[in-house]
Amino acid sequence: MASPPHPNLELRPLGNTGLKLSCVGFGASPLGSVFGPVSEHDAISSVREAFHLGINFFDTSPYYGGTLSEKMLGKGLKALGVPRNEYIVSTKCGRYLEGFDFSAERVTKSIDESLARLQLDYVDILQCHDIEFGSLDQIVNETIPALQKLKEAGKIRFIGITGLPLSVFTYVLDRVPPGTVDVILSYCRYSINDSTLADLLPYLKSKGVGVISASPLAMGLLTENGPPEWHPASAELK
């Protein structure tokens, strides 16, 4: 049984979702050994320690480690032994080890696979993963409507989109009914080397969309170890 979360970590409302997320979330891609080997013991221990310190938001994807991240996070959350409403889980769809597929059929199947790996009955947020690599019109006309059906079925509570170029957010949000997309996740755009997300915040607020700023260390760029080989930054920046 995990200890109660630390009471002093600030909780912040996420857009109009009604969710209150810890100001620091747990990005679970490392549990998929994306940045180096992580044992099952260490994965479960890190989830437990994060929760104990007051983190209640955990984000993953079937793409991270080829489903390994979801599996390890699922084991870690189960080991907490606390009621489901004490933590908030986000996973993604559309990007997989074998490639991108934002079709309604694939994302509908994807959530069932993710729920099985996470050992959960529902996720709080399901996000279309890195939508710039797909057709944005397909995201608007096919993927998001499919996610709305999953929402009605109770498998997900809220719908999100993620991407690196900020322009993908305005493209989609300007073409879906208000309130259709609940959350955006932007990464590497709110740190010391790139703070362009700040310019978009008034627009996102006007749309009633919650904002998650991911990878404040720019996917390892700002760490002492430096970025992994696959990092897209220029050699000069690295």
Task: Cite the active site residues.
Answer: 64
What is the DSSP pairing of strand 11-13 with strand 20-22? antiparallel
Question: What is the Cα–Cα distance from 186 to 174, expressed in whole angstroms?
Answer: 17
Widest Cα–Cα separation across the chain: 49
- C-alpha angle 168-23-91 in degrees, rounded to nearest 5: 50
DSSP state of 113: H
Give the DSSP per-residue string, 58-97.
EE--TTTTTTHHHHHHHHHHHHH---GGGSEEEEEESEET
